[in-house]
Amino acid sequence: MKHINYIISTFLIIILVLNISCSDEFLEVTPKGVVLLESTNDYDLVFNGSTLGSGGTAAAFTFAARSVDACAIEPHYSSGFGEADPDRAHFEWTPDGLTLGNEEDGFRILQRMRYLQHLYLYNKIINEVLESSGGSEAFKNELRAEAMASRALIYFKLINWYAQPYNSATASSDLGFPIITESDVNLGGVTRASTQEVYDFIINDLTTAIPLLKTSIDQRLRMSKGAAQALLGEVYVYMNRYDEALLQLNDALTTLASSTAVPVELYDYNVTTLFGGVHSGGFFGPNFVDPSENTEGVYVKAETNFYAFAASDILLSPETSALFGASDLRLSHWFVRTPFRSFTQFPVPGAYRITGRAEQNTGVALPKIYLLMAECKARTNDLSGAIADLEFLRRHRMDPADAPVPTGLSQDELIKFVFDERAREFALTGQTWFDTRRVWNDPLFQDKKPYTHTRYNEDGSVESTFTLTEERLVLQFSEKFLQDNPDLSNNP
């Protein structure tokens, strides 16, 4: 992992200087780049900076380009992506687009490895904070729990980047991601743990942390009990353990309801998109609410995504836009039919550019909690409960008269409706990529295959079509990564 170590060593000092109001008395850096923290307050301050709240840009770009709700139209596609551009390869689902980057592309390596920088810091807090000076034992344990729950989110992301979707029958032998618990920039020679081992690791971090975490949310960049409960619920959903997931998601909402330090509530687009509302129109489209201030955010990991702001390289597909109703403000307010700085509509009917969302929260948020709850209830045959959760969200997104779920849906049809609602709520944000992975082998969704991307010519005719295969559900490690870790097996 030498190239990862290089990144951490090179940028860690900058990260901490930018994020901690430090002095020579509390921060020292050894020649190897190891950060020395002393007091309990020092460790607390590590959490407060923007770096740990940001996942960078490359991850958001990657999964928006890979999502099955995307399409592309010339000349925007070719002008945005060169022939060797990794994001072009992500859209086309070719192996060259799955790597972490190459040694010459330092920016991409930095961005895509940002979560490993976070992992270093969380491990450091977990391993050292109990021995820090000046804080109470309760406060030290709370900080350690916060780092453990935050580390769990990092691993939940990594296992869904680099491992096949969880399958209880094969998880013990499926290759996952290396489990790294040391805060050592010189660590190398790692091997991949199994998918089951990684999920067990995530669950252990969360179940250990939840009883020790603070209930009240002081700021959205800090992990709270409610956020950790929601995350554990989501992890259980990915493992098809719906009863256990529902318990955690319900507990999360109960915990969040008792938190009064910052507001946690859904926006009503029927109000907020009006003139003077927080989402009213601006020069670049709807006004953008910073994730750290977004009332729907529970725990923020912000990723920049210019496909969801101004870029016309990756667009919403006609097949996905057809899922929206006429009064659904998620389409009519947040998407436009024209390229950036143009009044000429795209030649493909139903193709849209998303705008106004330069940053998105890929951590824990209320819409995700309600949709996960609806899925769990539908999966466990609580159809009325699932409908209630769906309609609560939908009333905040469209004319309330159009919010009711169609009557007479069977259990299977309602589960599919939940996923259609997820496609509407998370359109072109990258989230639908993980939904596609999760239901790849689900019997209910085999009629969705084959999953394809369409690239259109300037006249609207089809230039090419790309088909997603199972082996392309995972990212690959770069050649440099493999050279530095010779016992690390790559994905096909």
Angle between helices 383-395 and 366-379 (to 10 degrees): 160
Distance CA 171, CA 168 (A): 5
Count of CB atoms within 10 A of residue 138's CB?
A: 9
pTM score: 0.91
pLDDT value of position 103: 41
Domain assignment of residue 14, yes or no = yes
Average of pLDDT values for 131-152?
96
Q: Pairing between strand 462-467 and 452-456?
A: antiparallel
Is residue 298 over pLDDT 70?
yes
Q: Which amino acid is at 314?
A: I
Q: Pairing between strand 302-304 and 54-56?
A: parallel
* Highest mean predicted confidence (pLDDT) among 34-48, 72-86, 191-205, 304-318: 191-205
Distance CA 21, CA 42 (A): 9
Domain assignment of residue 122, yes or no = yes
Tell me: the pLDDT tens digits for 87-137? Answer: 788 899 987 665 544 444 444 444 456 788 889 899 999 999 999 999 999
State the pLDDT confidence band at 57, using cuts at 50, 70 and 90. Answer: low
Distance CA 308, CA 181 (A): 35
Nearest CA-CA partner of 151 in 121, 130, 187: 121
Q: Which amino acid is at 219?
A: Q
* DSSP one-letter string for 28-69: EE-TT--EE--BHHHHHHHHTSSGGGEEESHHHHHHHHHSTT
Count of CB atoms within 10 A of residue 447's CB?
A: 7
Kind and range of the H or E run holding 73: strand 70-73
Domain assignment of residue 342, yes or no = no
pLDDT value of position 86: 72
Domain assignment of residue 318, yes or no = no
More confident residue, 104 or 325: 325
Distance CA 437, CA 238 (A): 10
Domain assignment of residue 13, yes or no = yes
Beta strands in 382-482 (DSSP E): 452-456, 462-467
Domain assignment of residue 271, yes or no = no
Domain assignment of residue 100, yes or no = yes
Distance CA 159, CA 180 (A): 13
Contact in structure between 205 and 152 (CB atoms under 8 Å): yes
Residue 379 Cα to chain centre, angstroms: 23
Contact in structure between 206 and 232 (CB atoms under 8 Å): yes
Distance CA 93, CA 108 (A): 18
Show the domain range for 430.
2-266+363-484
Listed in sequence order, the residues at least 6 apart from 435 whose beta carbon sits closer than 8 Å to its beta carbon are 419, 422, 423, 426
pLDDT value of position 363: 93
Domain assignment of residue 451, yes or no = yes
Q: Backbone phi, then psi, for 36, in 5-degree steps?
A: -105, 120
Average predicted confidence (pLDDT) for the chain: 86
Is residue 159 over pLDDT 80?
yes
Q: How far apart are the first and last CA of the chain?
A: 20
What is the domain-level CATH number for residue 261? Answer: 1.25.40.390
Give helix then strand counts, H and E, for the chain.
Answer: 19, 15
Please state, in angstroms and as integers, the Cα–Cα distance from residue 355 to each residue in 130, 235, 309, 347, following that order: 45, 30, 4, 19
pLDDT value of position 149: 98
Number of domains in the chain: 1
Collapsing DSSP states into helix, strand and coil, what is residue 139? Answer: helix
Average of pLDDT values for 36-51?
84
pLDDT value of position 58: 60
Tell me: the pLDDT tens digits for 270-280? Answer: 999 999 999 99
Nearest CA-CA partner of 289 in 365, 398, 372: 365
Is residue 424 over pLDDT 60?
yes
